[in-house]
């Protein structure tokens, strides 16, 4: 038996959803039907609908692969989240493929009933130039969308859909990035507006004007460790539920959502489930991105070099916790002054990372490093004027990983690997690599480059001693 509306009644009450999708309407459109959306925004939205009695449902759109859409449809859009317990979530009401179901997605985005768009499309999905952070219009995928084909990138598609909404009614809407980037709201607004500006649309100036004045792009901080789904995740969910759930996800119990309180139109009352609405998310955002995500990337490259598989494996070594504490101590001085309790946050991080129940693979975190490191580490290096010993060691481990000993995926994998070709010394490789990810200024700092290059032989030998 498979999870669906018809098998819902067979579930024990503690496994059932808080809302019935049949009582909800699609009022939020989400792009990126990945593991994180299911364990985060879908959970908050379900609780918001249940608490308010308002019919906030999600139409979840997958940009690329058709499998999650097909699987979710088979299950009437139901799926479960396992943390300490397993529970079915009932907030998704439609599953759509961005390209195959373009007509329906268009209908939704032009409907005034839809007032919120959310996104979890990974750092790659924004097509930002590493050196400037602006839309990379030279990227072949963006260039093809700009040349007039039916858009296949989320940025091209969303810009086109928002323009259609402007032309249809101009009804206000909020577009909410839930990806890990500093200033994610402004970054998204910028790539969308740049796409419109580079389009040949006769009304592009009016569209840009509307985007600037009517559409909101609130910044957000999203937090919940949600590892990629494995067979074990699905089997555990089936054992708990008594029915198969091919869209099951497992996540840590902790979750957090901090949003800039600047929405343009009605939104789900996510605060009913603990989301925090604040005037300025920057202190929360930088603390999370630089301490949690920054340490995560360090754990990934150093852990892989030491032969570990998961984050918890690294924390179980003699040096894992020391590394996290050393790394965060080097980063903390760059955080903006605020009343947030940084030492308590670091203590909690160590505990979250050490949880053996979360099999968070280092290879997953290490993927797309060219984009993640540019976001997580480079601003820290700039602001503190170089690296301390732990940051330098982490950078050396990333440099080692670019040679592909672990087969990590990255949109720049080939050009990073090419930085090793014909280099007279490792300092040259380091400088080339930093330049490739948008850190030409850092590549020009000989002390930093030498500190990284000096640590490379130990990392290559798997000797990690932070």
- Which residues in this chain contact ligand CS2 in the complex, by CB under 6 A? 180, 223-225, 292-293, 296, 364-365, 372
Q: Which does 33 bind (CB under 5 to 8 A by kind): ligand NAI, ligand CS2, none?
A: ligand NAI
Residue 97 engages ligand NAI in binding (rule: CB under 6 A) = no
Single out the segment in contact with ligand NAI by CB under 6 A; choices: 118-126, 191-199, 212-220, 429-437. 118-126
Q: Is 353 in the site for ligand NAI (CB under 6 A)?
A: no
Could you say whether residue 194 binds ligand NAI (CB under 6 A)? Answer: no
Strand 79-82 and strand 86-89: the pairing is antiparallel
C-alpha span between 264 and 170 (Å, rounded): 12
Of these partners, ligand NAI, ligand CS2, none, which one is at the site of residue 364 (CB under 5 to 8 Å by kind)?
A: ligand CS2
- Report if residue 314 touches ligand NAI, rule: CB under 6 A: no
Residue 293 interacts with which of ligand NAI, ligand CS2, none, CB < 5 to 8 Å by class: ligand CS2
364 vs 435 by CB, closer to ligand CS2: 364
Please identify, using beta-carbon distances, which residue of 31 and 301 lies nearer to ligand CS2. 301
* Binding-site member from 15, 30, 157, 224 for ligand NAI (CB under 6 A): 224
Measured from the CB atom, the residue of 210 and 398 that comes closer to ligand NAI is 398
Span interacting with ligand NAI, options 188-196, 219-227, 234-242, 341-349, rule CB under 6 A? 219-227
**Starting from the edge strand earliest in sequence, which strands make up the sheet with 56-62, in order?**
92-97, 56-62, 25-31, 116-119, 174-177
**Site for ligand NAI contains 125 (CB under 6 A):** yes
Q: How far apart are CA 327 and CA 390, in angstroms?
A: 5
Cα distances (Å, whole numbers) of residue 74 to 5, 244, 248: 10, 11, 13
**Could you give phi then psi for residue 97, rounded to 5 degrees?**
-90, 135
Query: Looking at beta carbons only, is 165 or 224 nearer to ligand CS2?
Result: 224
Kindly state the tokens that stand for 329. 């101590």
CA-CA distances (angstroms) from residue 53 to 67, 113, 269, 450? 32, 16, 10, 60
Residue nearest to ligand NAI (CB): 34
Contact status: 64 vs ligand NAI (CB under 6 A): yes
136 binds ligand NAI (CB under 6 A): no
Q: Is 118 in the site for ligand NAI (CB under 6 A)?
A: no
Q: How far is the CB of 330 from ligand CS2 (least distance, A)?
A: 18
The one of ligand NAI, ligand CS2, none whose footprint includes residue 125, by CB under 5 to 8 A per kind, is ligand NAI
Least distance in angstroms from the C-beta of 177 to ligand CS2 = 13
Give the nearest distance from C-beta 57 to ligand NAI in angstroms.
19
Sheet holding 276-278, edge to edge: 220-223, 256-260, 276-278
Question: In the bound complex, what is the minimum distance in angstroms from residue 111's beta carbon to ligand NAI?
Answer: 22
CA-closest candidate to residue 161, choices 205, 103, 223, 90? 103
The smaller minimum CB distance to ligand NAI, of residues 63 and 269, is found at 63
- From candidates 17, 21, 32, 320, binder to ligand NAI by CB under 6 A: 32
Please state the closest distance from residue 367 (CB atom) to ligand CS2, in A.
7
Q: Which of 19, 80, 86, 180 binds ligand NAI (CB under 6 A)?
A: 180
Under 8 Å CB-to-CB from 235, ≥6 apart: which residues? Answer: none
Our CB check for ligand CS2 shows the closer of 413 and 423 to be: 413
| Minimum CB distance to ligand NAI smaller for 275 or for 430 | 275
Quickly count: other Cβ atoms within 10 Å of residue 464's Cβ: 24
Residue number of the CB atom closest to ligand CS2: 296
Q: Is residue 62 part of the contact set for ligand NAI (CB under 6 A)?
A: yes
Contact window for ligand NAI (CB under 6 A) among 82-90, 115-123, 129-137, 442-450: 115-123
Closest to ligand CS2 by CB, 21 vs 34, is 34
Report the partner that residue 122 touches, choosing among ligand CS2, ligand NAI, none (CB closer than 5 to 8 A by kind): ligand NAI
Q: Which residues bind ligand NAI (CB under 6 A)?
A: 32-37, 62-65, 120-122, 124-125, 154, 179-180, 222, 224-226
């Amino acid at each position: 038996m498979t999870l669906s509306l018809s098998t819902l009644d067979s579930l024990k009450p503690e496994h059932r959803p808080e809302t019935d999708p049949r009582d909800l309407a699609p009022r939020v459109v989400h792009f990126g039907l990945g593991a994180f959306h299911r364990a985060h925004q879908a959970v908050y939205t379900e609780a918001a609908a249940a608490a308010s009695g308002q019919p906030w449902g999600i139409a979840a759109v997958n940009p690329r692969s058709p499998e999650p859409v097909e699987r979710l449809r088979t299950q009437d859009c139901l799926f479960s989240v396992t943390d300490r317990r397993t529970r079915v979530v009932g907030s998704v009401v439609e599953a759509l493929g961005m390209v195959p179901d373009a007509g329906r997605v268009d209908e939704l985005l032009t409907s005034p009933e839809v007032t919120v768009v959310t996104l979890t499309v990974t750092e790659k999905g924004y097509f930002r130039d590493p050196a400037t952070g602006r839309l990379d219009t030279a990227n072949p995928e963006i260039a093809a969308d700009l040349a007039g084909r039916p858009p296949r990138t989320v940025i091209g598609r969303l810009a086109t859909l928002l323009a259609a909404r402007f032309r249809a009614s101009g009804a206000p809407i909020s577009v909410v990035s839930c990806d890990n980037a500093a200033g994610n709201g402004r970054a998204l607004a910028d790539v969308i507006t740049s796409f419109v500006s580079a389009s040949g649309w006769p009304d592009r100036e009016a569209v840009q004007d509307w985007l600037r004045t009517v559409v909101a792009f609130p910044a957000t901080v999203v937090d919940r460790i949600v590892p990629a789904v494995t067979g074990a995740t699905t089997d555990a969910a089936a054992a708990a539920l008594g029915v198969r759930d091919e869209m099951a996800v497992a996540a840590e119990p902790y979750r957090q959502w901090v949003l800039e309180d600047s929405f343009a139109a009605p939104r789900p009352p996510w605060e009913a489930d603990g989301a925090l609405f604040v005037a300025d998310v920057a202190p929360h955002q930088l603390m999370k991105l630089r301490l949690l995500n920054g340490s995560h990337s360090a754990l990934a490259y150093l852990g892989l070099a030491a032969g570990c598989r998961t984050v918890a494996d690294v924390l179980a070594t003699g040096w894992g916790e020391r590394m996290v504490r050393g790394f965060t101590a080097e980063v903390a001085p760059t955080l903006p002054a605020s009343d947030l309790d940084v030492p308590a946050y670091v203590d909690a991080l160590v505990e979250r990372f050490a949880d053996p129940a979360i099999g968070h693979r280092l290879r997953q975190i290490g993927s797309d490093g060219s984009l993640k490191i540019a976001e997580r580490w480079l601003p820290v290096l700039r602001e503190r004027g170089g690296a301390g010993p732990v940051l330098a060691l982490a950078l050396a481990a990333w440099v080692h990983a670019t040679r592909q000993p672990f087969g990590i995926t990255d949109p720049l994998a080939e050009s990073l690997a090419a930085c090793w070709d014909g280099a007279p010394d490792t300092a040259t490789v380091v400088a080339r690599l930093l330049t490739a990810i948008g850190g030409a200024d850092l590549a020009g700092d000989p002390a930093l480059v030498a500190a990284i290059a000096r640590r490379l032989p130990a990392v290559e030998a798997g000797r990690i001693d932070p």
